[in-house]
Amino acid sequence: MTKKINCLIIDDEPMAREILATYVAKVPNLALIKSCTNAIEAIPLLNNEHIDLIFLDINMPEISGLTFAKSIQQKTKVIFTTAYREYAIDGFDLHAVDYLLKPIAFERFLQAINKFFETSVLKKPIALTIKPASETTPHFIFVRADRKMLKIDFKDILYIESLSDYIKIYTPQKTIVTRETISNIENKLPLHLFIRTHRSFIVAIPQICSYTNEYIEIPKKTIPISRSYKEEVLRKLNAI
């Protein structure tokens, strides 16, 4: 019988916990012991249960994920989950198995699980039999606009434009303005659906009608490709 990997989820965001719990349920080798809202809630479980792996958010109230990870015994492995790319170096300095940026695609989640198997006492990856599911990745994002959190489906986004500390998100129906940097919003978008073409622009790949070395055309709009982004943009588009 294949050994079950006992897991904890620690994240103060309900939606993030729900997504991770769904992913864990799809991998028969994983057993979710509990989904915790903060690090303090998880401490008794670590003392009383055998926990092999923790999916740990970094930016949490009271005790941050980075601080909490320093107190965890080495036999318990950590996969960090966060919306902030800038914590990556700190995460790997703590010998984390992997560092997942939200929103987390199911395929990327599986890569992290296989890294866990490769670095654990099991020595080699376990064959993963994935349970079928209708959806494996979140298909929307929430942004603050008009004094509320507004849900925007990825499929509705045409492109995003930066205005210093604000961004404009263009959809066929309306333009949403939110106080956010373009780099932060880029970290929250799935890589297979969006591409950064310029320090001021992100484009939805399904909306692209045509492109050259200098620009991308979407319906009723031409988006520039800057010199610093050109190599990565062309590499990605030429691979589609």
CATH of the domain at 45: 3.40.50.2300
DSSP state of 155: G
66, 105: one domain: yes
- The per-residue pLDDT for 75 is 83
Could you report the per-residue pLDDT of 102-127, keeping only the tens digit for each?
Answer: 878 888 898 889 888 877 655 444 44
Provide the 3-class DSSP secondary structure of residue 210: strand
Report the pLDDT value the prediction gives residue 126, as an integer from 0 to 100: 47
Is 125 a domain residue? no
Do 14 and 112 reside in the same domain of the chain?
yes
Spans of the chain, pLDDT less than 70: 1-2, 85-94, 120-138
**Residue numbers of the domain that contains 170:** 140-238
74 found inside a domain: yes
Q: Is the dihedral of CA 221, 222, 228, 230 positive or negative?
A: positive
pLDDT at 51: 94
Considering the domain architecture, whether residues 103 and 149 belong to the same structural domain is answered as no
> Which helix H or strand E contains 6, and what residues bound it?
strand 5-10
Model confidence, pTM: 0.54
Residue 107 sits in the same domain as residue 30 = yes
Helices (H) and strands (E) in the chain, counts: 7, 15
The answer to whether position 86 is within a domain reads yes
Same domain, yes or no: 88 and 154: no
pLDDT attached to residue 30: 92
Q: 12 and 114: one domain?
A: yes
Q: Per-residue pLDDT tens for 28-45?
A: 889 999 999 999 999 999
Last residue of a domain, one of 119, 148, 175: 119
Query: Is residue 63 located within the same domain as residue 150?
Result: no
Could you tell me if 164 and 92 lie in one domain? no
Asked if residue 167 belongs to a domain, the reply is yes
Shared domain for 75 and 154, answered yes or no, is no
Q: Is the domain of 103 the same as that of 181?
A: no
In the chain, how many domains are there?
2
Does residue 14 sit within a domain? yes
d(CA 67, CA 38): 12
Q: Is residue 68 part of a domain?
A: yes
The pLDDT score that the predictor gives to residue 91 is 55
pLDDT at 214: 95
* Spatial distance between the Cα atoms of 166 and 23, rounded to a whole number of angstroms: 33
Q: Are residues 106 and 161 in the same domain?
A: no
> Tokens 């993963």 — which residue?
128
CB 155 within 8 A of CB 135: no
Query: Is residue 135 a part of any domain in this protein?
Result: no
Query: Of 68, 86, 119, which closes a domain?
Result: 119
Q: What is the pLDDT of residue 86?
A: 65
d(CA 200, CA 14): 31
Of 57, 87, 119, which closes a domain?
119
Angle formed at CA 215 by CA 202 and CA 84, multiple of 5 degrees: 20
Alpha-carbon distance values, 24 to 60, 78, 106, 165, 228 (Å):
21, 14, 10, 36, 38
In angstroms, rounded to a whole number, what is the distance separating the alpha carbons of residues 132 and 25?
11
Q: Are residues 9 and 59 in the same domain?
A: yes
In a domain, 55, yes or no: yes
